Amino acid sequence: MKQIKIDYHGVYNKTRELQTRLQSELREMDAGYRHVQSRLQQLDGRTNAALIEVAAANQIKTRATAEALLQLLAYIENATREVETEEREWTRIFNDSKISRVTINGGAS
């Protein structure tokens, strides 16, 4: 039987790293959009108004995508935590079972 080894610490570190990077990228994106929108507002014309509207719509879509990714990372971290907890419980049960068998077998000899 093959065993699957999960590096729980590695999963937690990587999900937190990715969450931090996404949040940083979101802050930078928001600053960039504000700068572009500010520059476009200084110009006149219907085209500039349309560009401002498109930039705002893209900002909303990008934020929604990033927030979905953040939720997925949180789900991965929580699911990993649950698997880790279950694995520890199974290990404890298995180890307790081994101790019981040794005691029973040892007592019968």
The pair of structure tokens assigned to 96 is 């307790």
- Indicate whether 85 pLDDT > 80: yes
Domain extent at residue 80: 8-104
Flag whether 60 is in a domain.
yes
Flag whether 72 is in a domain.
yes
pLDDT of residue 47: 79
Model pLDDT for residues 44-80, shown as the tens digit of each residue: 788 788 888 888 899 899 999 999 999 999 999 999 9
Query: Which is higher by pLDDT, 108 or 88?
Result: 88
CA distance 90 to 7: 17
Flag whether 36 is in a domain.
yes
pTM of the predicted model as reported, rounded to 2 decimal places = 0.66
Angle, CA 76 vertex, CA 10 and CA 91 arms, to 5°: 65
Flag whether 85 is in a domain.
yes
Flag whether 73 is in a domain.
yes
Tally of domains within the chain: 1
pLDDT band of residue 5 (cuts 50, 70, 90) is: confident
Flag whether 109 is in a domain.
no
DSSP output for 31-94: HHHHHHHHHHHTS-SHHHHHHHHHHHHHHHHHHHHHHHHHHHHHHHHHHHHHHHHHHHHHHHHH
Contacts of 30 (CB under 8 A, 6+ apart): 59, 63
pLDDT band of residue 109 (cuts 50, 70, 90) is: very low
The pair of structure tokens assigned to 15 is 């999900």
